[in-house]
Structure 1
Amino acid sequence: MAPLGLMTAGASWLAKSFSVLQCLSAPYITPVKYLSSQASGPPKKPENGYLRFVLQQRPDITRQFPGIKTVEIIRKIAGQWRMLTPEQKKPFDEAAQQAREQFKIDLHRYQALLTTEQFQQETQEKKQRLAKKRSIIQKRELNTLGKPKRSRYPINMFVSEKFAEARGLTSQDKMKSVVQDWRNISLHQKQIYTQLAQDDKIRYKNEIRSWEEHMVEIGRPDLVREKILLTKSKPAAKAQAIKKGTKKVIDTVKKDTASKTVRSK
């Protein structure tokens, strides 16, 4: 059930991402200045100077370049922002500073109205959001560093092969039909994907070990499993012990030579 849950969550995430992109491509709408969509909700953290500039320039760019992609819009506006002088940026930064001060006042008023239980719930939700944000940042970093993809389950192998030709108009419908097909195929057919998953597990085991050893070499042991660190430390500890032993023998020989020299005199 775990693999199926992961795939369902993945499909849901794709659908949400598509909805976000649709919203970004919609006509520009002036956002609410401080509060969230819920009147009883917490005040919304204000935009910084750059984002205020983006919101101001976006309608103009959209009119000048009909049909332009959102990524290109942001790229053009970012270029315009870089060309502004400090004096030209000053109004946006000052507006952002005023909004931050008002946000602190609104937040204090909002928190004063919360019960102890509501405040604890808000604190817990904030921790969860921060943890999710850190997780996203870490995943991006790992992708940049080329961390190998995890091995897949047999059902994942089946879904990746059949999803493109699956029945249904939406991603969720396709996923449901593929999962249903997986349940209906014979054990002999499933064995093929089981073998593919076993081969993929070997692939991942070899690649992740090589990657982790490389991370240790470039000074990123924080990204490595503990057992890899222990394995890497054993040769170093052994070499250090040999070095100490050799030094001890040399020191002993020097002492014996010095003693013989003194006695001969």
Structure 2
Amino acid sequence: MAPFSLMAAGVSWLAKSFTVFSSTSVLTRCTSVLPASYINPVKCLSSQASGPPKRPLNGYMRFVLQQRPIMARQNPEIKSVDIIRKIAQQWRTLSPEQKQPFQEASLRAREQFTLDLQGYKAQLTPAQLQQQVLEKRQRLAKRKAIRQKRELTNLGKPKRPRTPFNIFMSEHFEEARGTTTPAKMKSLRDDWRNLFNHQKQVYIQLAEDDKIRYKNEMKSWEDHMVEIGREDLVRGKTLSKKKKTDAKAPSAKKATKKAKAKTTKKTAAKGKSKTTKVTTKSSSTKTV
């Protein structure tokens, strides 16, 4: 009976251990997909308890996470940017067979992500779903604005004119009171309010000059944008003015042509009248 009791105790212990291991998170499932050299176990957790599941990493990013600590240990003097460049170069030199484990792990994580996302959305109310759609639109609009700003900077769009307070702040920011930027800004606002009108007039005049600078630079920049075919970046007011001037230009040309034609007709008529007078005089002298 003793061996039988020992076997029963062993079975119960195995059952308890099985329940403990089965209650763990997705971590154990992800580590069993590939060897530890191919996967960062922490990044395989695709869901969170208090939010939507995170998108899984692609094959290249998994390779970066694997190689980055190794490369940093081998080259401690190299910057992180150069390390990423070296890893990217290594990824390009890998064969399709060497890339396959990372890509397969990414594919499995993507399938798990779709399942987790469906489960997460099923728990949300219609109001929460609508809020998520609104937040997604805001994120996309923000990204679009950042891309447009970067494009305008690359195209050399002039900077907007500064206000009198901006000029005052840029001149006195270093010696402003406070250790942090918000504290310095607050002290500068207080100093600006305490200035007399004749003291503010200097910065007001500088701001007016900056407006003139901005106007002239914007005019030349928008003309250049029209020349290179980027009318989508030109303001609507300037486009309407250009269209009006372009519409007036043909009419002005027609008016000048008409005026020239009238003057030529008048000169021709005067020439004819002079010739007729000369012929009448010559005929009268012959008759005499």
Give TM-score, length-normalised by structure 2.
Answer: 0.65
C-alpha deviation, 1:46, in angstroms: 1.9
- Match for residue 14 of structure 1? none
Residue pair 2:44, 2:109 contacting (<8 A) in 1 also: no
2:131 pairs with 117, 121, 127, which one? 121
- Confirm or deny that 1:139 pairs with 2:149: yes
C-alpha deviation, 1:242, in angstroms: 8.5
The C-alpha deviation readout for 1:156-180, integer Å capped at 9, x for no partner, is 1112222233333333333333333
Residue pair 2:44, 2:56 contacting (<8 A) in 1 also: no
Residue pair 1:48, 1:96 contacting (<8 A) in 2 also: yes
Matches within 5 A, 1:170-249: 170-237=180-247
2:85 pairs with 71, 75, 82, which one? 75
Deviates more, 1:175-184 or 1:196-205: 175-184
- Match for residue 150 of structure 1? 160
The C-alpha deviation readout for 1:26-76, integer Å capped at 9, x for no partner, is xx994463235xx22111122223322222222223323436544333333
CA change 1:110–1:87 in 2 (3 A) is same
The size of the alignment, in residue pairs, is 217
- CA distance in 2 between counterparts of 1:33 and 1:125 reads 24
- CA distance in 2 between counterparts of 1:219 and 1:94 reads 45
Q: Secondary structure at the match of 2:186?
A: helix
C-alpha deviation, 1:239, in angstroms: 6.0
- Match for residue 66 of structure 2? 56
- Match for residue 33 of structure 1? 45
Residue pair 2:177, 2:183 contacting (<8 A) in 1 also: yes
- CA distance in 1 between counterparts of 2:251 and 2:95 reads 61
C-alpha deviation, 1:116, in angstroms: 0.9
Matches within 5 A, 1:71-110: 71-110=81-120
Give TM-score, length-normalised by structure 1.
Answer: 0.70
- CA distance in 1 between counterparts of 2:254 and 2:103 reads 61
Q: Over aligned residue pairs, what C-alpha RMSD do you find?
A: 2.9
The C-alpha deviation readout for 1:216-250, integer Å capped at 9, x for no partner, is 2111111111122223334544566789999xxxx
Residue pair 1:213, 1:228 contacting (<8 A) in 2 also: no
Q: Secondary structure at the match of 2:45?
A: coil
User: Please, which runs of 5 or more residues in structure 2 have no aligned partner?
Assistant: 1-39, 258-288
- Which protein is bigger by CA-based radius of gyration? 2
Output the amino acid matched with 2:68.
Answer: R
Residue pair 2:46, 2:113 contacting (<8 A) in 1 also: yes
CA change 1:29–1:86 in 2 (3 A) is closer
C-alpha deviation, 1:149, in angstroms: 0.9
- Match for residue 285 of structure 2? none
User: Please, which runs of 5 or more residues in structure 1 have no aligned partner?
Assistant: 1-27, 247-265
Deviates more, 1:108-117 or 1:162-171: 162-171
Percent of matched pairs sharing the same residue? 62
CA change 1:58–1:187 in 2 (3 A) is farther
- CA distance in 2 between counterparts of 1:190 and 1:206 reads 25
- CA distance in 2 between counterparts of 1:119 and 1:106 reads 16
- Match for residue 174 of structure 2? 164
Structure scoring higher RCO (CA < 8 A, sep ≥ 6) equals: 1
- CA distance in 1 between counterparts of 2:198 and 2:83 reads 52
Residue pair 1:148, 1:204 contacting (<8 A) in 2 also: yes
CA change 1:240–1:119 in 2 (3 A) is same
Residue pair 1:158, 1:193 contacting (<8 A) in 2 also: yes
